[in-house]
Amino acid sequence: MKKQNFRKLHHEKGMSTLVIILLLLFVATLVTLYTANSMVREQQVSANQYRSDKALSTANAGLDYAVAYYAENSGPDADNDKKVDALTVEITDKDGNVLTDMSGNNLVTVTFTDGDPLSDWDGDGDFDNDAFERPHRITSIGTTEDSSAQRTISVEVDLFGVIPSGGLPGFPLVAKGVAGSWGNFTIINRYSNATIWTGSDTTTIGSSETFIADPNDIPTNHCQYVSFRHSPACPGDPHNADITQVLHASYNQGGLNSDVIENDINLSSIPDDDFFRNFMREDKQTVKAFAEGINQVFDGDDGANPVAWNDLEVSDGVKGLVWIDGDFTTNGSLETIGSNEYPMTLIIDGDFDTGGSGKNSEVTLIGLIYVIGNWSSGGNFVVQGGAIVEGDVHNNGTPTIIYDDALYDGGLGTPPGSIAAIRAGTWKDW
């Protein structure tokens, strides 16, 4: 009896060991399978993320192209048929080969949609393709080459006319406050007999001089209209010896004449924000938002990264609208910023202190200066275009303003003072 019981217990002990081993093998197998499955899933997630990122990059490339197209053509209608254009955007490899998806289609599809789905401006039965119903929405769809992933980006883009369609205000200098202590300021307007417009109680000419158009010697080309040198300015021109082509209007001995409008209550009584809107198409917040949209808002003197005058050249990629946050001072040898092709609208949200001189007696700015504070002008600062000041103008040097009515009216073959920018808060991607 005792021997039989021993054998039975020994047999049951062996079975228990086997069961434990099998359980351990089963658990190990589960762990191995789980680990392998996790690795596969991680690889799949990584691959999916890679494809998604690649599709997003492709969509972003299409968006960049569409925004640049909109800016270059002042809207989505390059062929002027009153309809938004259909864009073809190609993505190429390093060898220049066009990449396509599995169906042979381009990797990116870009479309413009007008901003008013309830009206049909051009009467063609399509409510979404009208070129003039701004703002427009750009939708860019990017796809991977294996067609496994697709991402979509959409934004609203608008044309922003910094200067109203009528162009500059007709006066080379407009100041809401006092325009005094003039020093040797020179103002030239060969387009009309208007030079200064202020809302101040007094306008002191001092040693400054203004010049207006000579009806008996009308300029015949743009160079003559905007020249500020007496000679030579326009090579090969018969007026080379006397390029001024102007009449002496207001100066210290002659006093103020009809070219100067002062004490205008219609100007001085306008609230600052309305004053801005009187000369700009939008309010200050909107204008600044558009400047931010094209990455052309810069710090003034007291900012974290103060901008220098010579950092604003066209050759540095700075074109059109520029907004300076805070007071701004210039000094030293100044390069020309802005150009006939890309006139600059420089808005200083603070006081403007212009010292220094243009290099080689060149024009210092081509475009419009708008000063939200006061303008203290000095040095040999030369503006081809115009200046508008919400505060006062004081002068200690020999600055010059030469009015240029052609910069913003399209007379030079450029868009009439418009820029394209993404509307803040309209970005979507999915």
Integer Cα distance of 410 and 228 in angstroms: 22
What pLDDT is stored for residue 136 in this prediction?
92
- Give residue-wise pLDDT tens across range 75-84: 888 887 889 9
CA distances from 152 to 64, 85, 251, 427 (A): 13, 19, 63, 11
Residues 6+ apart with CB under 8 A from 397: 183, 184, 354, 355, 377, 378, 379, 380, 381
Q: In this structure, what token pair is assigned to residue 248?
A: 């002496």
- Give residue-wise pLDDT tens across range 177-227: 877 766 788 899 999 999 999 998 666 666 788 999 999 988 888 888 998
What pLDDT is stored for residue 326 in this prediction?
97
Integer Cα distance of 385 and 403 in angstroms: 5
Integer Cα distance of 394 and 355 in angstroms: 12
**Phi, psi angle pair for 246, to nearest 5°:** -140, 165
What pLDDT is stored for residue 201 in this prediction?
64
What pLDDT is stored for residue 166 in this prediction?
61
**Phi, psi angle pair for 220, to nearest 5°:** -110, -5
Integer Cα distance of 414 and 340 in angstroms: 8
Other residues' Cβ atoms within 10 Å of the Cβ of residue 296: 21
Beta strand 209-213 pairing with 297-299: unpaired
CA angle at 363 for the pair 326 and 299, rounded to the nearest 5°: 15
Contact call for residues 390 and 276 (beta carbons, < 8 A): yes
Other residues' Cβ atoms within 10 Å of the Cβ of residue 385: 27
pLDDT tens for the 430 residues of the chain, in order: 455 555 555 556 667 777 788 888 888 888 887 777 777 777 676 777 888 899 999 999 999 999 988 877 778 888 878 899 999 999 998 889 999 999 999 999 999 999 888 888 778 899 999 987 888 999 999 999 999 999 999 999 987 666 765 678 899 999 998 777 667 888 999 999 999 999 986 666 667 889 999 999 888 888 889 987 654 567 666 555 455 688 988 887 778 888 999 899 988 888 888 899 888 878 898 889 888 877 889 999 999 999 999 999 988 888 788 999 999 999 999 999 988 877 889 999 999 999 888 876 678 999 999 999 999 988 888 999 999 999 999 888 888 999 998 887 656 655 545 567 788 789 898 8
- Give residue-wise pLDDT tens across range 266-285: 888 888 888 998 888 788 98
Query: Helix (H, G, I), strand (E, B), or coil: what is residue 143?
Result: strand
| CA-wise closest residue to 193 among 244, 256, 255, 260 | 260
CA distances from 340 to 12, 189, 408, 416 (A): 101, 17, 10, 12
| CA-wise closest residue to 113 among 135, 97, 88 | 135
Residues 6+ apart with CB under 8 A from 419: 71, 159, 160, 162, 290, 294, 320, 321
* Structure-token match 């600055």, residue found: 399
Integer Cα distance of 392 and 237 in angstroms: 39
* Burial class for 413, CB neighbours closer than 10 Å (0-12, 13-18, 19+): exposed
Contact call for residues 179 and 203 (beta carbons, < 8 A): yes
The secondary element (H helix, E strand) that includes residue 259 is: none
Axis-axis angle for helices 284-293, 272-279 (nearest 10): 60
pTM for the predicted model, two decimal places: 0.68
Integer Cα distance of 106 and 124 in angstroms: 28
Contact call for residues 47 and 97 (beta carbons, < 8 A): no
Contact call for residues 130 and 120 (beta carbons, < 8 A): yes
Query: Is residue 76 reached through a cis peptide bond, with omega within 30 degrees of 0 on the bond before it?
Result: no
Integer Cα distance of 83 and 121 in angstroms: 9
What pLDDT is stored for residue 325 in this prediction?
97
